[in-house]
Structure 1
Amino acid sequence: MSTSVPRGDGPAAGPAGRSLTELLDELPALDEATVVHSTSSTLTLAELRAAVSRVADELVRAGVRPGHPVGALVGSGASGVVAMFAAWRAGAVYMPVNHRMTGHEVTALIDDTPVCLILGTAADLDGRDGGIGVVEFDETTWNARTRRPVAADATTYDGDIALVLRTSGTTGKPKAVLLRHDGTLDALDASLRKLRRRDSGPREPRARLRVNLIPLSLALWAGIFNTLFSFRAGFGVVLLDRFTPEEFARAVREHGLTSTVLAPAMITMLTDDDGLDSLEPLRIVRSITAPLSPAVAQRFHDRYGVLVLNSYGQTELGGEVVGWTIEDIRNYGTEKLGAAGRPYDDVDVRILDEHDRDLPPGEPGHIHIRSPYRMRGYAVAGDEDADRLLDGFLRTGDVGRLDADGFLWIEGRVSDMINRGGLKIFPDEVEEVLRRHPGVRDAAVAGVPDRRLGEVPCAWIVPAGGAMDAEALAAWCREHLAPYKVPVSFFAIEAMPRNDVGKVLRRQLQVGMPSREVML
């Protein structure tokens, strides 16, 4: 059997035998308690454990052994929860794959990041098995059968690896990150300490659990992390098969939710929806997956009376590493609206200049973070980037600043920065100004080539209604920005292209420039 040894220089393996399966084993619920709610079905704790055991047993019968990577085609409903814990129960390494991928995309993915077996429903597996081991399961009975066993020479990983996750790929080819059982459990506990600031102590099994809403696909790390966080906190989960403002508002009412997580694109959709009057009893939203515009956060708060809190993390860092505590909310409220929060107690943040020198509070620079939950490495040889590490700190690729109170503010991505004849422009700053204009529903800014200046900023606008007034927008920008930051052209578009986690795809805008251009 060939062995793939994880690359990278993340922390060493944790205590032998520690596994994320303990989240399911230790969930403080009675067998009859409903722990997974979805649009199509529910699962009690007993039903979830039985489903996980059935699928895990079949994976073992198919030849899956400890350390084998298992790819799961994740769709809606409870399938992502069952597949994830079944892989871990079998001792495997779990790699989620979006079931909407085509057969060609799945084949390319497993060629780049080998797995020994693909797991999924019959409908999802058709044309997507890639010629490797295949186990099919039924989402109603959770019975499973082997279509094709695991090959004898299947790749294996070290025993402490739990997950193979793809980065978002907003600025380049997605990379396959290896996360550990031990590190992920520690990251979940750190998140709980950040929010609770005290140990809740032993918990008695209950017949009814509080629930957290998971509005993101379980094919994404944000969806997975928040599901695991819910179980670690002793909560059940509500899974939205498809996010719409109406479905979200219904779930909030039905389950009496006072807090939840949302991606920026979802917050924008809710803010702009004309059919909603209230999101009661919701009080707090944590924005995840990408920085949220303070202007959008303020509009959302003004409309629904719900406080929006940013946060910060990366897949390579093991999840969220900067966020808000309850004390922060009480002490600062909307005063720090737009800040990502403050670093976790065991996380260190440095802001460095281009020569790797520390900058004082308030000065923007390159964000470097040292996290004990950091990835073990990358799954694919060649993905490593030694320049990303400095004295144990990961170069995040983001630009930001720490204020005098220790709050982190995100200014933008280094790779998104526009160099206009030597003058640096961060698109996020220009976008924030544009979003405050009453005629703008959404905005994105990116650099386009210019023979004289190298590149210049252009803006793509989703109008709030009616036609776009480029002259008025340019005048607005000149009023609030230095002249070199004002976009040289504006493009009216119907919708902003975003990836599955809500990040704007600036490259798509730059490549597919619409014909409706207004030059200034």
Structure 2
Amino acid sequence: MNLADLLLEHPFADDEGLLHTVTTSTSAGEARARVRELAAELAIEPGQGVAVMLPNGPELVCTMAAVWAAGGVYVPVNPRLPRREVDAVVAETRPALLVTESGSTVLDGEPRRFDPGVAFVVWTSGTTGRPKPILHTHEAYLELLDRVLGPLRAGRTSDRPPTPNLIPVSMALNAGIYNALFGLRAGAALVLMDRFEPGAFAELVDRFQIRSTVLPPAAMSMLTDSDVDDLAPLRYVRSITAPLSPLQARRFAAKFEGVHVLNSYGQAEMGEVVGWTAADAKAHPEKVGAAGRPLPGVEIRVDADDHLWVKPPNAAVGLDERRDVDGFLDTGDLARVDDEGFVWIEGRASDLINRGGNKVFPDAVEEVLRLHPQIADAAVVGVPDERLGEVPVAFVVGEQVGDDELVAHCREHLVPYKVPVAVRWVDELPRSEVGKVLRRQLAATYQEGTP
């Protein structure tokens, strides 16, 4: 099955609204006609890439499906990227065409011919090095969607169409693509946001009676700190794109009473592999902050060094170097599994700070820093130390207080070896496109002596 069929063969009648924004609605018939029109216009050969640099909206969804209908490979490009990063994406993937709001442009050079079955290209987060392209196939991605949809379909008791799927993140990201295709595969309409804004989000939730949606941790923090005080009829929010701390989850759930925060775990290379069911959310409120339990068909193990290994039914192309002899993939993350099978992500193995043999997880220290009323955001990184090997240093955003006061605050909540040895105040933390803190940049600025 081609992923374009999720739109072209969507169960909605031609006159039913399928693709919505804050200000527009596109019917299923209009969307199908637009996909066929665009596919006929794309001058590509099978397996060639098409770079698409459009804002979130119906035209982007139709263009993505048109690329697949024409036999091409979708190469998403965020319109907000600086030109040099756009050039890097084009150089790496060598698409035949670039589609922007101004139209379609034939690119110079010999286009790359991707292997049969490749559907689209996404990128690793780039938190520990240069982002790398990941190739997803039509077949494997359909399995990924059905892996999550299966348990949900089994629990449905109504023949009514599901409520629309709200997409509050860029569709240049795997999270955006996944949630759009998830909605189409489920037979739902899509509601697309080009930029996240708390008031607009609350309006869309009310207008389309959204009961379940996805949000990045940064968007949850924006809502928690906003004037929005009601998200009815929203009942479930699943965290995506970046780690959600237990503190963020508790703050959001405390403000929006009755909304269950469902963490999850996955990677662009393999999709979601650990998550929550509604039944688990109701039965285990004390587990808020856990990633959930392995999804059907997914095997996991945690080795003696706390490294998380995952064996999903399918994964992206080209990951053989990360597999062991049993087919498990090294996630690069540290985790623990409790007695009831819930997985708790401790952080990236590359972020772990080894202070004289003592393990310091940056996330745990950052949680304590954010508890201070004048700290808006925080990141902790390890820097070299001649005696101890590494020591933790805190970078913080907020209203400045004395460094001694902040260190004393940490000492109230942490064992001594976890307390940062120094504090650096910054206007903002450097983040990747998906909102993950770029710790390597912070460590570099500290070693260079820059503020």
The aligned residue for residue 346 of structure 1 is: 297
1:309 matched to 2:242? The reply is: no
**Structure 1 stretches of 5 or more lacking a match?**
1-17, 123-135, 138-146, 355-364, 378-383
Say whether 1:222 aligns with 2:175: yes
1:20-419, aligned counterparts within 5 Å?
20-59=3-42, 62=43, 64-122=44-102, 136=103, 147-148=105-106, 154-198=111-155, 210-273=163-226, 275-305=227-257, 306-317=259-270, 319-332=271-284, 334-354=285-305, 365-377=306-318, 386-419=321-354
SS for the counterpart of 1:369 is strand
CA–CA separation in structure 2 for the residues paired with 1:330 and 1:40: 35
RMSD: 2.3
Residue 150 of structure 1 and its aligned partner are, at CA, apart by: 8.7
Partners of 1:267 and 1:148 lie apart in 2 by 40
| Aligned-pair CA distance for 1:27 | 1.5
- Pairing partner for 2:405 from 472, 481, 485: 472
Q: Would you say how many aligned residue pairs link Structure 1 and Structure 2?
A: 449
Q: Deviations over 1:98-151 (max 9, x none)?
A: 1223443322222222222222221xxxxxxxxxxxxx26xxxxxxxxx54897
Distance 2:86 2:97 in 1: 12
| Deviation of 1:154 (Å) | 3.3
Q: What is the Cα deviation at residue 430 of structure 1? A: 1.1
Q: CA deviation at 1:239?
A: 0.8
The letter of the residue matching 1:449 is P
Tell me the distance in 1 between the aligned counterparts of 2:321 and 2:132: 14
Contact 1:93 1:163 (C-alpha < 8 Å) held by counterparts: yes
Asked if 1:447 is matched to 2:382, the reply is yes
Aligned partners of 2:127, 2:323: CA distance in 1, in Å?
A: 17
Q: How far 1:497 sits from its partner (Å)?
A: 3.0
Q: 1:424 maps to what in 2?
A: 359
1:290 Cα offset (Å): 1.6
Q: Measure the CA separation in 2 of the matches of 1:337 and 1:166.
A: 29
The alignment partner of 2:329 has SS state of strand
Q: Tell me the secondary structure at the aligned position of residue 177 of structure 2.
A: helix
CA distance in structure 1 between the aligned counterparts of 2:362 and 2:138, rounded to whole angstroms: 37
Q: What is the TM-score with the length of structure 1 in the denominator?
A: 0.81
Percent of residue pairs identical? 48
Q: CA deviation at 1:494?
A: 3.5
How far apart are residue 289 of structure 1 and its match?
1.2
In terms of mean alpha carbon deviation, does 418-427 or 366-375 score higher? Answer: 418-427
Structure 1 residues 494 and 271: alpha-carbon distance in aligned structure 2, compared to 1, 3 A threshold: farther
Task: Name the aligned partner's letter for residue 111 of structure 1.
Answer: A
Residue ranges of structure 2 left out of the alignment (5+ in a row): none
Q: 1:170 is paired with a residue of what secondary structure?
A: coil
Q: Secondary structure at the match of 2:142?
A: helix
In the alignment, the residues of structure 2 paired with residue 491 and residue 387 of structure 1 have an alpha-carbon distance, to the nearest angstrom, of: 36
**1:55-86 CA deviation, whole Å, 9 max, x = no partner?**
11011xx2x12211221113232232112101
SS in 2 for 1:189: helix
Letter in 1 for 2:251: R
CA separation in 2, counterparts of 1:67 and 1:200? Answer: 41
Aligned 8 A contact 2:260 2:281 in 1? no
Q: Could you tell me how far 1:415 is from its partner in structure 2?
A: 0.8
Residues 1:199 and 1:23: Cα distance change in structure 2 (over 3 Å): farther
Encode CA deviations 1:458-493: one digit per residue, 9 max, x unaligned. Answer: 112233xx4324333322322322211110112233
Cα distance, 1:198–1:250 mapped onto 2, change above 3 Å? closer
Cα shift at 1:200? 7.5
